[in-house]
């Protein structure tokens, strides 16, 4: 078997020291242009590729970003947001030759996890997602000296760089579209109320109803889960005055709610209009196709990773505001049936 070329081989071929090779390959100043060019040519001739751990060590870095997700492991696997978000992170890290350290945790274990990541220098920085009301993590990572990017609004960030994708415009547009179709009793199935983004979506729904002069609609918890969405839908449809439209916190709960309504003999959209959030790939393939809000989760993950790499490299980065989520109308939304209580 052919031996993999080493930094010593590059140094020998270029006629320089190993430290000079390290300077050239890590793009550090201090070498003459001709020397650097000779070293790079030697590395290319030998087919030398840097070892990621060795390169990270030479730069004083772990070569990895950290993400601690506080959700049940079985729920994380079915959440439509995270696979796309993680794919976005990986597209950026793949270009760098870096990795992602992912932990699924509980609020009780969070602090010790971040402390271990910092103490062991296992990551160069962390991404904070699912910001909660009175979330201790922004202050914690600052106290630990961990470079941090908050995935959410700047006012949640505790002074860290924030990468925001606003969901409010899509919610307002969805409620307006439902009102235009004649709906007056519009319900909401919300995500976990401790999550700031779930709270923000609920507030957008409430505000849109108020601005349109519509009465407050019924509200039920859904927890961003299929089981929660189905249960909430059955409860709403059992009311003395059931809603004629339901806006859900995400596509997973909306798809389950759509199925629950159809199992109860409630036709969508003839008797009930349904709107989700995330615009997951399956949304357009359910029956009827699900109206939703398109948020670029993969682009969000990539932008967050790039911002964190900038923070690691330069100590700070400006906040990033991505294009907001947009309402995507589909066949799960229709006009109110004549004679409906919500008409």
Task: Say if residue 342's pLDDT is above 70.
Answer: no
pLDDT of residue 238: 97
Mean pLDDT is lowest, of 31-35, 241-245, 255-259, 299-303, for: 31-35
Pick the CATH number of 168-277 from 3.50.30.20, 3.30.430.20, 3.40.50.2300, 2.130.10.10: 3.40.50.2300
Q: What is the pLDDT of residues 119-166, one digit of tens each?
A: 888 899 999 999 999 999 999 999 999 999 999 999 999 999 999 999
Q: What is the pLDDT of residues 178-232, one digit of tens each?
A: 999 999 999 999 999 999 999 999 999 999 999 999 999 999 999 899 999 999 9
Task: Say if residue 255's pLDDT is above 50.
Answer: yes
Task: Say if residue 305's pLDDT is above 90.
Answer: yes
Q: What is the rounded CA–CA span in Å between residue 51 and residue 205?
A: 51
Q: What is the pLDDT of residues 5-40, one digit of tens each?
A: 888 888 898 898 888 887 787 777 778 888 889 988
Give residue for tokens 């961003």.
224
Task: Say if residue 280's pLDDT is above 70.
Answer: yes
E strands in the chain:
64-69, 99-104, 125-128, 148-151, 161-165, 186-190, 219-221, 245-248, 273-275, 292-294, 320-322, 326-328
DSSP secondary structure string, 60-73?
T--SEEEEEE-S-H
Q: What is the rounded CA–CA span in Å between residue 318 and residue 264?
A: 50
Could you give the 3-state DSSP secondary structure of residue 294?
strand
Kindly tell me the burial class for residue 251, based on how many C-beta atoms sit within 10 Å of its own C-beta (0-12, 13-18, 19 or more): buried
Q: Are 285 and 260 in contact (CB under 8 A)?
A: no
Same fold, 64-165+297-324 and 168-277: yes
Contacts of 202 by beta carbon, 8 Å cutoff, 6+ apart:
188, 190, 193, 219
Q: Where are the domains of the chain?
A: 7-50, 64-165+297-324, 168-277
pLDDT of residue 47: 83
Split at pLDDT 50, 70, 90, the class of 4 is confident
pLDDT of residue 50: 62
Long-range own/partner contacts, residues 179-182 (CB < 8 A, 24 or more apart) = 179/212, 179/214, 181/245, 181/273, 181/333, 181/334, 181/335, 181/336, 182/335, 182/336, 182/343
pLDDT of residue 51: 58
Split at pLDDT 50, 70, 90, the class of 340 is low
Q: Backbone phi, then psi, for 323, in 5-degree steps? A: -55, 135
Q: Which fold has domain 7-50?
A: 434 Repressor (Amino-terminal Domain) (1.10.260)
pLDDT of residue 2: 56
pLDDT of residue 22: 78
Task: Say if residue 335's pLDDT is above 80.
Answer: yes
Split at pLDDT 50, 70, 90, the class of 307 is very high
pLDDT of residue 74: 64
Q: What is the rounded CA–CA span in Å between residue 90 and residue 96?
A: 10
Q: What is the pLDDT of residues 41-100, one digit of tens each?
A: 988 888 877 655 555 555 567 789 999 998 776 666 677 788 899 999 999 998 877 889
Q: Are 147 and 310 in contact (CB under 8 A)?
A: no
Please state, as a whole number, how many other Cβ atoms lie within 10 Å of the Cβ of residue 77: 11
CATH 3.40.50.2300 fits 64-165+297-324, yes or no: yes
């Amino acid at each position: 078997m052919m031996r993999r070329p080493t930094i010593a081989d590059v140094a020998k071929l270029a006629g320089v020291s190993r430290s000079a090779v390290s300077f050239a390959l890590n793009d550090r100043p201090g070498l003459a242009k001709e020397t650097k060019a000779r070293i790079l040519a030697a590395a290319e001739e030998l087919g030398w590729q840097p070892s990621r751990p060795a390169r990270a060590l030479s730069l004083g870095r772990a070569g990895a970003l950290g993400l601690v997700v506080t959700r049940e492991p079985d729920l994380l696997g079915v959440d439509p947001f995270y696979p796309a978000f993680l794919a976005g992170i990986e597209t950026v890290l793949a270009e760098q030759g870096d990795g992602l350290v992912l932990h699924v945790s509980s609020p009780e274990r969070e602090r010790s996890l971040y402390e271990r990541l910092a103490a062991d220098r296992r990551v160069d920085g962390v991404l904070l997602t699912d910001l909660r009301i009175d979330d201790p993590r922004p202050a914690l990572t600052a106290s630990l000296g961990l470079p941090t990017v908050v995935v959410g609004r700047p006012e949640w960030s505790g002074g860290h760089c924030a990468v925001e994708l606003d969901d409010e415009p899509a919610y307002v547009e969805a409620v307006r579209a439902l009102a235009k179709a004649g709906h007056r009793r519009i319900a909401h199935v919300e995500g976990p109320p401790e999550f700031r983004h779930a709270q923000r979506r609920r507030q957008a729904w409430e505000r849109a109803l108020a601005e349109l002069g519509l009465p407050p609609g019924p509200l039920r918890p859904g927890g961003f889960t299929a089981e929660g969405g189905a249960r909430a839908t059955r409860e709403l449809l059992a009311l003395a005055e059931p809603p004629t439209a339901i806006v859900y916190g995400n596509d997973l709960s909306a798809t389950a709610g759509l199925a629950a309504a159809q199992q109860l003999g409630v036709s969508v959209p003839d008797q009930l209009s349904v709107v989700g959030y995330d615009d997951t790939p399956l949304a357009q393939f359910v029956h009827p196709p699900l109206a939703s809000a398109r948020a670029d989760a993969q682009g969000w993950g990539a932008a967050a990773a790039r911002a964190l790499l900038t923070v690691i490299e330069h100590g700070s980065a400006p906040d990033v505001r991505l294009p907001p989520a947009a309402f995507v109308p589909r066949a799960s939304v229709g006009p109110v049936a004549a004679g409906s209580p919500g008409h």
